[in-house]
Every structure is written in C-alpha cells, then in structure tokens.
A and B are shown apart, each in its own frame.
Chain A
Amino acid sequence: MINVTIDGVRVEVPKGATILEAAQEAGIRIPTLCYLKKLSPIGSCRMCVVEVEGCTKPVTACDTPAGDGMVVTTDSEELREMRRDVLRLLLVRHPLDCPVCDKGGECDLQDLVYEFGVTAESYRTEPFERDVPRYVSPFIRQWPDRCVLCGRCVRACKEVKGVGCIQIVDNGFYSYIGPVPGVECISCGECLSVCPVGALTDSVHPTKARIWQAERVPTTCGYCGVGCQLELNVLNGEVIRVTTTDFDRAPNFGSLCVKGRFGWEFVNHPDRLEKPLVRKDGELKEATWDEALGLVARKLQEIKDEHGADAVGGLSSARCTNEENYLFQKFMRAVIGTNNVDHCARL
C-alpha cells in the first residue's frame, strides 16, 4: 500500500492504483471524459489533468499511477482553465444540436460544458468538409461531428469484446472512428453503450424519446443461457430500445450481443397472437378464453378418463420462467397425474 495526499486528504491505496483511483478513494471528483472504469485508461481527453508536487507539468490522473508520498492538487484556477480549453476545443467541431440529439440529457459533454460554463465561440477553424464512410454496424447511426474521439468505443470493441473492428482513421483534426479493414463487426452495440455523447445512436426504432420520457425496466435477456442483465426502454406501452447503463452488474457488466441489444422487435411484432384460437372445421378461429380453456379442460379430462393419465404428454419450456415451468409440471403431475413432462433441454 502507498500513501497519497489528494487536495490535503491523505489516503492509502494499493501500489499501482492511479491518481484518479486514489482521488475516488479520497472522495474527490476529478472531471473525466474519455475515462471509463471498465476500459484501460488512455488519458487522451486531458480533462483529468492534475498538479503533482515535483512535476513541472500537469499530469493526467486517469492513467498515471500514484506514487508513495505523492502530493496532488486536483483543482486550481489554472487547471480549471486547462479543462475549459479542452471543452472549448471540443466545441470547435461538436455541434450544439443538443435539442435534436438522442443523448440530450444524458451526455457527458453536455454536463461538463454546463459545469464549466463554456461557450462555443472561443476557438474556430475554417469551414471544411469531411467524407466519413458508413458506420460498421447497420444497427447504429454515426454522427461524426458529435464525436469527441475519446476512443471509448474503440477500446470497448477491442478490450471488452475482443473484436477490434473500429479504430481512429485519418490523422489529427480529420480523424474519425472508422472501420478496421478485414475485421467484421458483430453489431453487439458495445460502442453504442459506452459513447459519452450522441456520436453513436441506436437506429433500430423510429420512435425517439428524451431520456427522461422512456421508462427503463431492468430485466434478464430472453435469448441464450448467459442471462444478461439489460434495460427495456418503454414508451407508450412499446419497447423502443434496449440499454445497459449499469456496468457493474454481473454477469454481463453492460455488454450484450446483437440479439440482446437489437433483437427486441419481435415483442411489438404484428404476428403476435392476441386472442385464443380454436380449430373449427379444420381452421383456427378466434375464441374467448373461457371457450378455449373450457375446451382444453374438457378434452384433457376425456382423454385422461378414457386412456389414462399417461396418454397425456406435456412440453414445458426452456423459454418460460421458473415459476411457469414449476406450475406446468405441477399441473401435469398433480392435476393430470402423469410424469410425461419434458422440454427441449436437449436441443
């Protein structure tokens, strides 16, 4: 363990901890933009600059390991001005289109600009045109001008998903997030989930909703057996997108695959059954619940009476909940009286 003093607060942190982690331990917030806990820190946005006693230049807190006896200052007028300049420079390119941006209200840049009281007029460049190719995933829309090049998406794609299909393309001011030739995107949307601004937006559902209008219901994904935790975003009784905002939640820590993140449309699909159907004259016709359930009860009872309980079989479901599976086998065993119950565990 090493001792670090942050703004006069002494904390003990493990060797190898960064200055930012030490500050968090001390309960001191250092503004960040490119930093995300689950990704390796790169110190590229330069928002987290701090002063370290004995160092002639400011250092970035997120990717500099703390040293024993280090004395750190996280806030001064000079540091605030450096941070303001970072934001001013970002606003050279980033349009102030917050009113029409999907991320308005949930945007790290918006929050920081607000916090530091910065306007867009300080620095400017000559007008220029940029040609950015289509984004790697058809499920995601890219807004290159909104991009702050924090590289979170690039790191998430590489470090979390092990894919590495995006990178910073071109140099300097003309950089943008573009494809890595020869590496296929799997449309998992990891990049989308870590973007701090509205540079990547979900393009599946046409309905837009301000962050605070949609309700986010945490639940478990209904596809494979991993059991990813996700949030269904609901507006006016319809799912409009899936998000993951809690990166500390096992087992997926905010990651999903293409099915989990973009495969929710079937819930709203017009093919969904809405009424019970009963076969009449060889065709399935709509019926009331009473009619349908009455028929099922009668027929099952008849067959049970005539051929014995074991003439009835039941398939429960690897798709349904535990409670439903429990009730189904209870029904088969206690009500019908047979152990003929199975499901597709083997498929």
Chain B
Amino acid sequence: MTNSIACVDKAQAFLVIGSNTTENHPIIGDRVKRAVTQRGAGLVVIDPRRIELAEYANVFLQVKPGHNIPVILGMMHVILKEGLHAPDYIAERCEGFEEFAASLEAHSPEKVQQITGVDADLIRKAARVYAGAKPASILYAMGVTQHTQGTDAVKCLANLAMLTGNVGVEGGGVNPLRGQNNVQGACDMGGLPNVVTGYQKVGDDEAMAKFDEAWGRKVPREPGLTVTEMGHAALEGKIRALYVMGENPMITDPDLHHIEKALETLNFLVVQDIFLTETAAKADVVLPACSFAEKDGTFTNTERKVQRVRAALAPRGECKPDWQIVQELSTKMGYPMSYAHPREIFEEIASLTPSYAGIDYDRIEREGIPWPCPDRDHPGTPVLHVERFARGKGLFQVVEYKGPAEEADDEYPLILTTGREHPHYHSGSMTRRCGRINDCFPEGFLEMHPADAERLGLHTGDGVRVASRRGEITTKVKVVDRPAPGTVFLSFHYSESPVNVLTNPATCPVAKIPEYKVTAVRVEKA
C-alpha cells in the first residue's frame, strides 16, 4: 500500500476494485464500511460480483471478469472531459501527461459501454464520486492483478490516482491489499528470483558486492525462475530438486494437473510445513515446522509495517522453527549458520537492507514501524511519495486494453472467477483444521446467477460438474444474484473441489501472475 490502513479513516471517497474487502481483509473492510456508513464517504465498487461493499456504494459497476481496464479508462476520460482532474498537481509532480491525455480520447463511456456492457452513465457517476472528493483512496487486490493484463490494470489505477492528485496524500493512494500475513515481508526479504532484500536487483553489481562480502559467497547475477516457470522447467528436466518452505502449490497454483505432473517429474522434493499438505504428501522428505504461535520473528503487513511475532508455545513434538531448520541444513551443507535468535537474523537484514536499516526489535516492541525506515531516528513512512515520487516524477503510462486470455464460447459458455470466503483462508490447511470454523462453514459452493441456474435446471445444493479446458471438478451450486448472469464464482479453500484444476496458467508477462480470475467453464448437473 502507498498509504497506511489508518488513512482509510481520512479518505472522503473510495474506489474499491477487484477486492472483496469485507471478506478478505475484514479489518480494512470494516473501516471502509464505517467511513461510508457513519461518515458518508463516497464509494465506487467495481467487481464481477455484488459483494457486500456494493450494497453501500454510491455506484456499483458490475464488470465481467477481465473488464477492469476499459472501465477505468472510461472513468479517466470523464474526469478529464469534466475538468475533475488536478492540473496543478499533474504539472508539478508528473510527466508524460500529454500523450496519456490524448490516449484517453478514444475511451468515451459510450465506447466502454460497447465493450463491457457497463452503463455509460454509471461510469460517469463513478468518475464523479471518485474524483469529486479529496482525498480519495483506491483499494484493490487480486481481482485487479490476477489477469494477463494485471500490470496494465495497476498502471491504470496509478494513472487515475495521479490524474486526481491522490498519490502522496494522506487518505489517498493506490493501495493493494496483500492477501497473506507476510507476503509483503517475503517479497521484502528477497523471496523473489530477481531481487534480494529491499528489492535490490540481483543484476546490480554494486548492491550485490555488499551481499557477496557479507555472505562470503558470490551471489549469482542472473535472475532465477518464478514458481510457474519452475513448473515448466521441472517438466523439461531443467529443475531436478525443489525445496518448498510453507507453501502448498498443489492447491494454490493454476492448472493443478500440470503442477502435479511437474512435482512427480522431480528427482527430489523437500517440503517443510506444519501439516502433511497435498504438496507434502508428494515429497521425498518432510520437515516438521513450527506454527506462528511457536516462534519469534517479524511479519511485514500490507501497509509495510514490520510487526513482532512472539512464541507463545514451545515447539510441538520435534518441530523446529523454519529458520532453525534452514540454519541446520545450511550447516550440514558446509555453510555454518549459528544465529541464537531471530533477533540476530533481523540485525543482519537491517544491515543489508536500506529500507529496514532503522528498525530493530526494541523499537517495534509495542507497535510496528512501516518501511522505508533508513535510520534509528526515522519514524517510518506511513505514506509513500509525499514530497516526490520514488522515481522523481510520477509517470503517466499509456495503457491499451487487450482482453483476457480466455473467452467464453459454445463449449465453455460461462466465465469462472475465484476468490476467498471470510471464514476460510487460502488453501484451507489451517482454517479447515479449526473444528468450530469448519463445522460452521464445511463446504464451498459454486455461486451462480438465478438466470443461469434456471437455464441449466439447477437449484441451490445440487451437485455440479465444472469443467474447463484443463480439467474438471465437482462441487455444489448456490443460486444467488451475487455474480452477474454468465459469471460463476468458486473459492479455492476446499481440497474436495480444487478449483485450480480448472484455472488458466496464462500469466501477465510482467508480473508473471496467472489469470486466476478468468476461466471459461462448462457447468453440468453431476
């Protein structure tokens, strides 16, 4: 997030797009609801489903999956035409505006309506609600990024925020809501093939020299493979061994049949986890790790705040915290590590990572600090790009819409989109093992609009077979008017009906994020 969670309380309007905030980030969703219902902040919701926040929205644009970009382009067209943009801000702080402005000419609301079917007047109204109040905040999540044009959609949102002078402003910003407790931290720590900690590029010799020296080994300078690429490489025999720490790709990756084959092709698979997950069951060695309740350390949340995790329990059985397992393995492989406590590891991180340099355990004993925090006296940075953009001037980037990789056709006439439900989490390995939660929410349902259900002769509770070009699963249907006709929804929490058997591994060329949100499917009574 460019802004803090607390900034939600200061926003006068929200654009919530591709984020079912109340279910996936309930605490932020609460704040949005509070701002909207108690404080009267404006709200525009763009989503394929009539999510809860849509009930409170001034304008709800029910888009088909994959249609975010044209709708945002249309909103920006209106903002420019009606003079709702921020010319002083643009002149002072941004560049590339003329070309960008010219590119919007073609995207009149009527044109957008032709492409997307979204009512042109609603697009106008949405533009006015978002641009008519200052500051205005954009909240988005995987509904924006899990598309082959995910990066372009994010650029569009950045353009929109700059156009209205909402970047670097308290209560404004472009705010991706991160789905997992430490996905921000895992990225910050260099759990990515092209960067080490603090997004220092592996190709940057100067930065890497520091690591070469600190680690006593030379860091390779060529970027490595992403998860999806590793899958392909395994099938090609280029990847022989895989070491998985706390991940369950057998549920969470797209096109599971493909992943399963890839894992089976490997010579050696090590999985380190707290449960014998679907992935661990395929491993050659399984290493028992500690849960978050049994270890010390830090998580970095979606607002970049580094917060403490504390061991409340002794490790269960012979379990060890992940850091200790890695340390022992490393030592066994001739690279001794001897950290006595995660605190020492954190000190090493701070010494090598400029954005974490000023953070230590003592400073975050009671409350976390948002990075960048370059030194011990720095209070942290709740809002990014305040005086200037990280790159100097904010760059408007022209975006053209291409459409999703897969469209509905006669054989697969419905578009499936995926997501979460609030009681469950991700692959379900944790919440499905919480007795009370699982008792109350034991099964998933394919959400389908009454019009589609009537056509297919389906009623709530009926068993259905859902098939895509990649595979098929069975589940039960729930007839509800949350999705629009033609769109169906299924969450990915339930290993009984693993939706990722169906999803499309086509990825965004820049971010390599698979297009989970758009899968052409066929639904039949099982």
Contacts and interface: CB of A to CB of B under 8 A. Distances in A.
Contacts of B143: none
A279 B179 contact: no
A144 to B, nearest CB: 22
Interface of A: 138-139, 159-162, 186-188, 204, 215, 217-229, 232, 234, 237-239, 249-252, 255-259, 262-267, 269, 271-279, 284, 289, 292-297, 299-301, 303, 306-307, 309-335, 337-347
Contact of A276 (B182, B225, B287): B287
B330 A331 contact: yes
Interface in B329-348: 329-330, 332-335, 337, 339, 342, 345-346, 348
Interface stretch (B404-412, B432-440, B457-465): B432-440
A324 B224 contact: no
B30 interface: yes
Interface residues of B, number: 152
Interface string B183-222: 1111111111110110000100000000100011101101
B314 interface: yes
22 contacts: A138-B436, A219-B308, A258-B422, A272-B317, A273-B275, A273-B288, A274-B318, A276-B318, A292-B285, A295-B284, A297-B333, A299-B267, A300-B243, A312-B239, A316-B186, A320-B182, A321-B298, A323-B342, A327-B345, A328-B322, A337-B220, A339-B219
Contacts of A297: 329, 332-333
Given A333-B220, A342-B193, A223 B284 contact: no
B224 A273 contact: no
Interface in B244-282: 244-247, 249, 252-253, 267-268, 270, 273-276, 280-281
- Interface of A, secondary structure class, is mixed
Contact of B227 (A266, A332, A339, A344): A344
B437 A315 contact: no
Contacts of A316: 186, 189, 191, 245-247
Contacts of A331: 326, 329-330, 335
Given A257-B27, A303-B241, A138 B440 contact: yes
Contacts of B34: 159-160, 162
A102 B266 CA distance: 53
B215 A322 contact: no
Given A296-B285, A322-B182, A328-B326, A222 B222 contact: no
A279 B368 CA distance: 42
Given A227-B299, A334-B216, A232 B312 contact: yes
Contact of B326 (A294, A310, A324): A324
B525 interface: no
Contacts of B346: 322-323
A262 B431 CA distance: 10
A330 B28 CA distance: 33
Given A186-B422, A315-B242, A347-B253, A276 B297 contact: no
A261 to B, nearest CB: 10
Given A267-B291, A273-B273, A226 B27 contact: yes
A332 B306 CA distance: 24
B392 interface: no
A341 B316 CA distance: 28
Given A272-B317, A297-B333, A344-B227, A339 B27 contact: no
A227 B1 CA distance: 13
B317 A234 contact: no
B458 to A, nearest CB: 23
Contact of B316 (A274, A284, A306, A314): A274
Contact of B241 (A160, A215, A225, A312): A312
Contacts of A188: 26
Given A276-B318, A303-B240, A324 B434 contact: no
Given A224-B181, A311-B241, A294 B332 contact: yes
